[in-house]
Amino acid sequence: MIESVLIKQVQMITPFGKKEGDVLIKNGKIHAMDWKLPEHAEVIIRDRGLTLMPGVIDPHVHFREPGATWKETLETGSRAAVSGGVTTFFEMPNTKPSAICRKTIAEKKKIASQTSMANYNFYIGATTDNLEELKAIENVPGIKIFVGSSTGSLLVDQEEDLRRIFTETTALIAVHSEMESIIRANKDIYKDSTNPLDHPRIRSVDAAVKCTKMLLNLSHETQRRLHILHLTTEEEMQLIAKAKKDTPVTTEVSPQHLLLHGPEVYLKLGNFAVINPPIREKRHADALWQGLKSNVIDCIATDHAPHTIEEKQLEYGKAPSGMPGIETSLSLMLNLVAQKKCSLDDVVKWMCETPAKLFGIPYKGALQIGYDADLVLVDLNAKRTIENAKQHTKCKWSAFDGWEVQGVPIATMVGGKLAYREGEFFTATKGSEVKIRKPKPKA
Ligand SMILES: [Zn+2]
């Protein structure tokens, strides 16, 4: 077993600024970072001109196992992850059976311990009658609540049920925020529609805004940590900007909601662009970008939600909602660095440092001595074209097919071991369960 690795002459993105030099990894941790380290290591990687950054933490993915393994598995999803520079993921509970109790969470952790190439942990889902499980669960990134039903029976849309979860549990509360009653009423209006352009009309701005307002009030009243998942509207961004003064709220945005917009994306991709909450008009994408730049939006999450090409080819209304994204997110963000729309420090903050802080993950998300050696080497000058056939996700497509991006993950290390390098996987490398710091009890 290899216990020491020396990475020579790279640009390092550290919390204290850019630094040029060598990095020594020992027993899975960053042991030393210096201008020139002596060459005493079992493996020496020399990659002049490359940049070393912390591995990406993607706090919102769907890997479909157990229950829908024809779409993705923890193995295939985690391979896609490491190929894209993602070393840690948090997976959502809408698998089959739903991950709503200690037993189902333990089963997912067991599968991941055997097959996942990246570090992992799993949200527990809230239902209207699993409060005892939500109170008893340990070491999960949070409690996921679908207020808008995206998927099946995991729906909690009555305010009194929500209030109980807010007042009686302690884990972070993460919510898919769309008001179910408004979506149902809109579905009646568009019930025979086979037009994907109707998707953002059914899942309207109003449905998202009203739900987020209600959640912000609950969080303010109870002073309970709230994380709004995949933000999509300008109006919610403004509400959260105001609320942040006195409400413990954070939020995330996906690359697809930042970079794609209607109606163009629906005309080009049809149902392949259909996700929940929906991709909306350009004014929302622009506002989300401003929100991210001004720290109203805290981090990037992909909401990687693969479905097969055949499933997405069904007509609108029958095709499932969701798109993959875990292996393209870092490249797409690095491309924005190449276009000078943001800095590399911004990308590290949005994709590594802030997710680690926000979810209470010790020793991850930064290049610092003593931290876990979850690392990605990127070539900021390399260009590549995103292509469906080259995707590592089991579903083999991307909404960004045909996009040329500058900024490519070259190699990914998980716990000090090489997991991926330039198209090759080192499958003996396995991730481990991510420890989550317990939230501080209220004073
Ligand atoms: Zn999701």
Condensed to tens digits (0 to 9), the pLDDT of residues 307-356 reads 999 999 999 999 999 999 999 999 999 999 999 999 999 999 999 999 99
DSSP codes of every residue in 222-235: HT--EEE-S---HH
C-alpha span between 282 and 193 (Å, rounded): 23
C-alpha span between 68 and 76 (Å, rounded): 13
pLDDT at 428 over 50: yes
pLDDT at 154 over 90: no
Q: What is the mean pLDDT of residues 262-283?
A: 98
Q: What is the model's pLDDT at position 155?
A: 65
pLDDT at 403 over 50: yes
- Cα 40 to middle of ligand 1, angstroms: 45
Q: What is the model's pLDDT at position 232?
A: 98
Structural contact between residues 182 and 190, judged by C-beta atoms closer than 8 angstroms: no
Q: How many CB atoms lie within 10 A of CB 437?
A: 11
185-214 pLDDT, tens digit per residue, is 999 999 989 999 999 999 999 999 999 999
Task: Name the band, by pLDDT with cuts 50, 70 and 90, for residue 434.
Answer: very high
Which one is catalytic: 157, 198, 298, 303?
A: 303
Structural contact between residues 115 and 73, judged by C-beta atoms closer than 8 angstroms: yes
Mean pLDDT of the chain: 95
Q: What is the model's pLDDT at position 441?
A: 56
Structural contact between residues 279 and 260, judged by C-beta atoms closer than 8 angstroms: yes
pLDDT at 166 over 70: yes
φ, ψ of residue 95 to 5 degrees: the values are: -95, 180
The string over 403-435, giving b where at least 16 C-beta atoms fall within 10 Å of a residue's C-beta and e elsewhere, is bebbbbbbbbbbbbbbbbbeeebbeebbbbebe
Q: What is the mean pLDDT of residues 146-155?
A: 61
- Cα 320 to middle of ligand 1, angstroms: 13
Share of the chain above pLDDT 90, in %: 91
Q: What is the model's pLDDT at position 150?
A: 46
- Cα 31 to middle of ligand 1, angstroms: 36
For ion ligand 1, residues whose CB falls within 5 Å: 303
Q: What is the model's pLDDT at position 443?
A: 44
- Cα 62 to middle of ligand 1, angstroms: 6
Least confident of 62-71, 139-148, 234-243, 344-353: 139-148
- Cα 176 to middle of ligand 1, angstroms: 8
Q: What is the model's pLDDT at position 438?
A: 79
- Cα 262 to middle of ligand 1, angstroms: 20
Chain centroid to Cα 163, Å, comes to 26
Q: What is the model's pLDDT at position 256?
A: 98
Is 303 designated active site? Answer: yes
C-alpha span between 47 and 134 (Å, rounded): 47
- Cα 124 to middle of ligand 1, angstroms: 13
- Cα 190 to middle of ligand 1, angstroms: 24
pLDDT at 120 over 80: yes
Q: What is the model's pLDDT at position 106?
A: 98
Q: What is the mean pLDDT of residues 34-43?
A: 90
β-sheet bridge partners, residue 44: 6
Structure tokens at 192: 């025979």
Q: What is the model's pLDDT at position 149?
A: 52
Q: What is the model's pLDDT at position 180?
A: 87
- Cα 303 to middle of ligand 1, angstroms: 5
Q: What is the model's pLDDT at position 47?
A: 81
- Cα 154 to middle of ligand 1, angstroms: 12
- Cα 443 to middle of ligand 1, angstroms: 32
- Cα 126 to middle of ligand 1, angstroms: 14
Q: 180 or 313, which is more confident? A: 313
Least confident of 23-37, 136-150, 366-380: 136-150
C-alpha span between 361 and 409 (Å, rounded): 23
φ, ψ of residue 63 to 5 degrees: the values are: -105, 5
